[in-house]
Amino acid sequence: MEITTNDIEIYFGENQILKGIDINISNKQFIGIIGPNGSGKSTLLKCIYRILKPSSGIVKIDSKSIHELTMKETAKKMGVVAQHNYHNFDFSVQDMVLMGRTPHKRALERDNEEDYKIMYNALEKVGMIDFAKRNFNSLSGGEQQRIILARALAQETESLILDEPTNHLDIKYQLQLLDIVKSLNIEVVSAIHDLNIAAMYCDKIYVMKNGKIVAYGTPQEVLTEKLIKDVYEVD
Ligand code: ADP
Ligand code: MG
Protein backbone atom coordinates (compact mmCIF):
# COMPACT_ATOMS: atom_id res chain seq x y z
CA MET A 1 0.00 0.00 0.00
CA GLU A 2 1.01 3.59 -0.37
CA ILE A 3 0.36 6.68 1.73
CA THR A 4 1.19 10.05 0.24
CA THR A 5 0.71 13.62 1.38
CA ASN A 6 0.50 16.27 -1.24
CA ASP A 7 1.36 19.85 -0.30
CA ILE A 8 -0.16 19.64 3.19
CA GLU A 9 -0.53 22.96 4.97
CA ILE A 10 -2.17 23.57 8.31
CA TYR A 11 -2.82 26.69 10.34
CA PHE A 12 -3.76 26.99 13.99
CA GLY A 13 -5.18 30.52 14.05
CA GLU A 14 -2.56 32.74 12.46
CA ASN A 15 0.24 30.23 12.93
CA GLN A 16 1.21 28.08 10.01
CA ILE A 17 2.36 24.79 11.53
CA LEU A 18 2.83 22.67 8.39
CA LYS A 19 4.27 24.18 5.23
CA GLY A 20 3.91 22.27 1.99
CA ILE A 21 4.57 18.75 3.24
CA ASP A 22 5.06 16.01 0.64
CA ILE A 23 5.88 12.59 1.97
CA ASN A 24 5.58 9.08 0.65
CA ILE A 25 5.26 5.85 2.60
CA SER A 26 5.38 2.74 0.43
CA ASN A 27 7.24 -0.46 -0.50
CA LYS A 28 6.92 -1.85 3.03
CA GLN A 29 9.46 0.66 4.25
CA PHE A 30 9.94 1.86 7.81
CA ILE A 31 9.87 5.63 7.48
CA GLY A 32 11.09 7.81 10.34
CA ILE A 33 10.22 11.42 11.03
CA ILE A 34 12.71 13.27 13.18
CA GLY A 35 13.08 16.90 14.16
CA PRO A 36 13.09 19.14 17.22
CA ASN A 37 10.12 19.43 19.59
CA GLY A 38 7.45 21.59 18.02
CA SER A 39 8.66 21.04 14.46
CA GLY A 40 5.29 19.54 13.47
CA LYS A 41 5.84 15.76 13.55
CA SER A 42 2.70 14.95 15.56
CA THR A 43 0.62 17.44 13.60
CA LEU A 44 1.65 15.80 10.33
CA LEU A 45 0.87 12.32 11.64
CA LYS A 46 -2.52 13.53 12.90
CA CYS A 47 -3.32 14.71 9.37
CA ILE A 48 -2.46 11.22 8.14
CA TYR A 49 -4.58 9.42 10.71
CA ARG A 50 -7.46 11.84 10.28
CA ILE A 51 -7.55 13.55 13.66
CA LEU A 52 -6.80 16.83 11.89
CA LYS A 53 -7.96 18.06 8.52
CA PRO A 54 -5.28 20.04 6.71
CA SER A 55 -6.08 23.64 5.75
CA SER A 56 -5.01 22.64 2.25
CA GLY A 57 -3.39 19.70 0.52
CA ILE A 58 -4.42 16.10 0.43
CA VAL A 59 -3.57 12.79 2.11
CA LYS A 60 -4.02 9.74 -0.08
CA ILE A 61 -4.04 6.03 0.58
CA ASP A 62 -3.46 4.02 -2.57
CA SER A 63 -4.25 7.09 -4.70
CA LYS A 64 -7.57 7.73 -2.96
CA SER A 65 -8.17 10.72 -0.66
CA ILE A 66 -8.50 9.44 2.92
CA HIS A 67 -11.65 11.51 3.23
CA GLU A 68 -13.33 9.23 0.69
CA LEU A 69 -12.81 6.27 3.03
CA THR A 70 -15.18 5.38 5.84
CA MET A 71 -13.69 5.27 9.33
CA LYS A 72 -13.90 1.50 9.23
CA GLU A 73 -12.07 1.34 5.91
CA THR A 74 -9.42 3.66 7.34
CA ALA A 75 -9.10 1.44 10.42
CA LYS A 76 -8.39 -1.53 8.16
CA LYS A 77 -5.67 0.42 6.40
CA MET A 78 -3.83 1.94 9.37
CA GLY A 79 -3.18 1.19 13.01
CA VAL A 80 -2.24 4.15 15.16
CA VAL A 81 -0.18 4.63 18.29
CA ALA A 82 -0.58 8.32 19.21
CA GLN A 83 1.80 10.32 21.34
CA HIS A 84 -0.41 11.58 24.14
CA ASN A 85 -1.15 9.64 27.32
CA TYR A 86 -4.11 7.36 27.39
CA HIS A 87 -4.94 7.07 31.08
CA ASN A 88 -8.70 7.54 30.83
CA PHE A 89 -10.06 4.31 29.43
CA ASP A 90 -12.09 2.40 32.00
CA PHE A 91 -11.64 -0.96 30.28
CA SER A 92 -9.71 -4.11 30.99
CA VAL A 93 -6.47 -4.53 29.11
CA GLN A 94 -7.90 -7.40 27.08
CA ASP A 95 -10.94 -5.36 26.07
CA MET A 96 -8.67 -2.53 24.96
CA VAL A 97 -6.78 -4.92 22.70
CA LEU A 98 -9.98 -6.59 21.46
CA MET A 99 -11.13 -3.16 20.26
CA GLY A 100 -8.49 -3.56 17.60
CA ARG A 101 -10.67 -6.26 16.06
CA THR A 102 -13.62 -3.89 15.47
CA PRO A 103 -12.76 -3.00 11.85
CA HIS A 104 -12.98 -6.68 10.95
CA LYS A 105 -16.47 -7.17 12.38
CA ARG A 106 -20.04 -6.26 11.64
CA ALA A 107 -21.85 -3.94 14.04
CA LEU A 108 -22.56 -5.66 17.36
CA GLU A 109 -20.84 -8.86 16.27
CA ARG A 110 -19.28 -10.50 19.31
CA ASP A 111 -15.62 -11.36 19.73
CA ASN A 112 -15.02 -14.95 18.64
CA GLU A 113 -12.31 -17.45 19.41
CA GLU A 114 -10.11 -16.13 16.62
CA ASP A 115 -10.33 -12.58 18.05
CA TYR A 116 -9.27 -13.86 21.47
CA LYS A 117 -6.38 -15.74 19.92
CA ILE A 118 -5.21 -12.63 18.10
CA MET A 119 -5.62 -10.54 21.27
CA TYR A 120 -3.52 -12.93 23.38
CA ASN A 121 -0.97 -13.16 20.63
CA ALA A 122 -0.67 -9.37 20.49
CA LEU A 123 -0.32 -9.14 24.28
CA GLU A 124 2.35 -11.80 24.17
CA LYS A 125 4.27 -9.89 21.52
CA VAL A 126 4.42 -6.75 23.66
CA GLY A 127 5.28 -8.77 26.77
CA MET A 128 2.01 -7.94 28.56
CA ILE A 129 0.17 -11.25 28.65
CA ASP A 130 0.05 -11.24 32.47
CA PHE A 131 -1.79 -7.91 32.41
CA ALA A 132 -4.81 -9.12 30.39
CA LYS A 133 -7.31 -8.83 33.24
CA ARG A 134 -5.95 -5.59 34.70
CA ASN A 135 -7.76 -2.29 34.32
CA PHE A 136 -6.08 -0.19 31.68
CA ASN A 137 -6.18 2.87 33.97
CA SER A 138 -4.06 1.10 36.55
CA LEU A 139 -1.06 0.73 34.21
CA SER A 140 2.01 2.95 34.00
CA GLY A 141 2.59 5.14 30.95
CA GLY A 142 4.99 2.66 29.37
CA GLU A 143 2.68 -0.27 30.04
CA GLN A 144 -0.26 1.61 28.52
CA GLN A 145 1.85 2.38 25.49
CA ARG A 146 2.56 -1.31 25.00
CA ILE A 147 -1.16 -2.10 25.23
CA ILE A 148 -1.98 0.53 22.62
CA LEU A 149 0.62 -1.02 20.37
CA ALA A 150 -0.91 -4.46 21.02
CA ARG A 151 -4.28 -3.03 19.99
CA ALA A 152 -2.73 -1.73 16.78
CA LEU A 153 -1.19 -5.17 16.14
CA ALA A 154 -4.54 -6.90 16.77
CA GLN A 155 -6.03 -4.58 14.18
CA GLU A 156 -3.99 -6.42 11.51
CA THR A 157 -3.76 -3.32 9.38
CA GLU A 158 -1.84 -2.73 6.18
CA SER A 159 0.24 0.03 7.77
CA LEU A 160 1.17 1.51 11.14
CA ILE A 161 1.33 5.17 12.10
CA LEU A 162 3.39 5.62 15.26
CA ASP A 163 4.13 8.79 17.21
CA GLU A 164 7.18 8.30 19.41
CA PRO A 165 5.86 4.84 20.31
CA THR A 166 8.65 3.84 22.66
CA ASN A 167 9.26 7.02 24.61
CA HIS A 168 8.45 5.77 28.08
CA LEU A 169 10.07 2.39 27.66
CA ASP A 170 13.34 0.87 28.80
CA ILE A 171 15.83 0.29 26.02
CA LYS A 172 15.14 -3.44 26.08
CA TYR A 173 11.44 -2.89 25.36
CA GLN A 174 12.14 -0.14 22.86
CA LEU A 175 14.19 -2.56 20.79
CA GLN A 176 11.83 -5.46 21.35
CA LEU A 177 8.80 -3.48 20.20
CA LEU A 178 10.46 -1.99 17.17
CA ASP A 179 11.76 -5.44 16.22
CA ILE A 180 8.16 -6.64 16.27
CA VAL A 181 7.00 -3.71 14.18
CA LYS A 182 9.81 -4.23 11.71
CA SER A 183 9.07 -7.96 11.42
CA LEU A 184 5.49 -7.24 10.32
CA ASN A 185 6.93 -6.17 7.00
CA ILE A 186 4.26 -3.55 6.31
CA GLU A 187 4.48 0.20 5.68
CA VAL A 188 5.35 2.04 8.88
CA VAL A 189 5.75 5.73 9.55
CA SER A 190 6.98 6.75 12.97
CA ALA A 191 7.98 9.99 14.65
CA ILE A 192 11.16 9.12 16.51
CA HIS A 193 12.85 11.13 19.21
CA ASP A 194 15.99 9.06 19.57
CA LEU A 195 18.38 9.37 16.65
CA ASN A 196 20.14 6.08 17.43
CA ILE A 197 16.81 4.28 17.24
CA ALA A 198 16.07 6.09 13.99
CA ALA A 199 19.40 4.95 12.59
CA MET A 200 18.76 1.35 13.60
CA TYR A 201 15.23 0.91 12.25
CA CYS A 202 14.47 3.38 9.47
CA ASP A 203 14.81 2.66 5.78
CA LYS A 204 14.30 6.35 5.08
CA ILE A 205 14.07 9.42 7.29
CA TYR A 206 12.28 12.71 6.80
CA VAL A 207 13.79 15.54 8.83
CA MET A 208 11.40 18.28 9.94
CA LYS A 209 12.12 21.78 11.12
CA ASN A 210 9.62 24.61 11.65
CA GLY A 211 6.86 22.80 9.78
CA LYS A 212 8.93 21.89 6.74
CA ILE A 213 10.71 18.80 5.49
CA VAL A 214 14.34 19.94 5.34
CA ALA A 215 16.00 16.63 4.44
CA TYR A 216 15.13 13.14 3.29
CA GLY A 217 17.20 10.03 2.76
CA THR A 218 18.67 6.92 4.31
CA PRO A 219 19.92 7.22 7.90
CA GLN A 220 23.45 7.34 6.51
CA GLU A 221 22.58 10.22 4.22
CA VAL A 222 20.60 12.19 6.76
CA LEU A 223 22.21 11.61 10.14
CA THR A 224 25.36 13.58 9.50
CA GLU A 225 26.90 15.72 12.20
CA LYS A 226 26.45 18.85 10.14
CA LEU A 227 22.78 18.32 9.36
CA ILE A 228 21.86 17.24 12.88
CA LYS A 229 23.63 20.17 14.52
CA ASP A 230 21.99 22.49 12.05
CA VAL A 231 18.47 21.10 12.51
CA TYR A 232 18.71 20.90 16.30
CA GLU A 233 20.47 24.27 16.46
CA VAL A 234 23.57 23.12 18.27
CA ASP A 235 26.42 25.63 17.98
P1 ADP B 1 6.26 17.82 17.41
O2 ADP B 1 5.41 16.60 17.43
O3 ADP B 1 7.26 17.85 16.31
O4 ADP B 1 6.91 18.08 18.74
P5 ADP B 1 3.74 19.21 17.12
O6 ADP B 1 3.22 18.77 15.82
O7 ADP B 1 3.14 18.61 18.35
O8 ADP B 1 5.32 19.09 17.13
O9 ADP B 1 3.55 20.78 17.24
C10 ADP B 1 3.95 21.67 16.22
C11 ADP B 1 3.55 23.08 16.59
O12 ADP B 1 2.13 23.18 16.50
C13 ADP B 1 3.92 23.49 18.00
O14 ADP B 1 4.33 24.82 17.97
C15 ADP B 1 2.62 23.34 18.76
O16 ADP B 1 2.57 24.23 19.84
C17 ADP B 1 1.60 23.69 17.71
N18 ADP B 1 0.30 23.03 17.92
C19 ADP B 1 0.07 21.70 17.93
N20 ADP B 1 -1.23 21.42 18.13
C21 ADP B 1 -1.84 22.62 18.25
C22 ADP B 1 -3.21 23.02 18.47
N23 ADP B 1 -4.19 22.11 18.58
N24 ADP B 1 -3.46 24.34 18.53
C25 ADP B 1 -2.48 25.26 18.38
N26 ADP B 1 -1.18 24.95 18.18
C27 ADP B 1 -0.86 23.65 18.12
MG1 MG C 1 5.10 15.14 18.84
- For the entire predicted model, the pTM comes to 0.95
pLDDT at 107: 86
Is the separation of the CB atoms in 104 and 118 below 8 Å? no
> Is ligand 1 within 6 A of the CB of residue 12?
yes
Please answer whether residues 167 and 136 qualify as being in contact, where contact means their C-beta atoms are separated by less than 8 angstroms.
no
> In DSSP terms, which residues pair with 189 in a beta bridge?
31, 161
| E strand residue ranges, 2-141 | 3-12, 15-25, 30-34, 56-61, 64-65, 78-81
From 12, 18, 21, 162, give the residue whose CB has the most ligand 1 atoms within 8 Å, as the site to mutate: 12
Q: What is the pLDDT of residue 58?
A: 97
- Per-residue pLDDT 10s for the chain (235 aa) are 999 999 999 999 999 999 999 999 999 999 999 999 999 999 999 999 999 999 999 999 999 999 999 999 999 999 999 987 677 889 999 999 999 999 999 888 999 999 999 999 999 989 999 999 999 999 988 899 899 999 999 999 999 999 999 888 889 889 989 999 999 999 999 999 999 999 999 999 999 999 999 999 999 999 999 999 999 999 8
pLDDT at residue number 204: 98
Report the alpha-carbon distance of residue 123 to residue 101 in Å, rounded.
Answer: 14
> Cα(39) to centroid of ligand 2, in Å?
8
Nearest ligand 1 atom to alpha carbon 39 = 3
If DSSP codes are grouped into helix, strand and coil, which group holds residue 221? helix
Predicted local confidence at residue 167, as pLDDT: 86
> What was the pLDDT predicted at 83?
87
Length of the chain: 235
The whole-angstrom separation of Cα 166 and Cα 168 is 6
Q: 184, 183, 152, 156: which is closest to 165 by C-alpha?
A: 152
User: How far apart, in Å, are the Cα atoms of 197 and each of 42, 176, 216, 220?
Assistant: 18, 12, 17, 13
CA distance 37 to 174: 20
Give the distance from CA 226 to its chain's centroid: 28
- Please give the Cα distance from 235 to 227 (Å, whole number): 12
Helix (H) or strand (E) holding 206: strand 204-209
CA-closest residue to ligand 1 atom 21: 12
Q: Which residues, 6 or more positions from 41, have their beta carbon under 8 angstroms from its beta carbon?
A: 33, 34, 35, 163, 191, 208
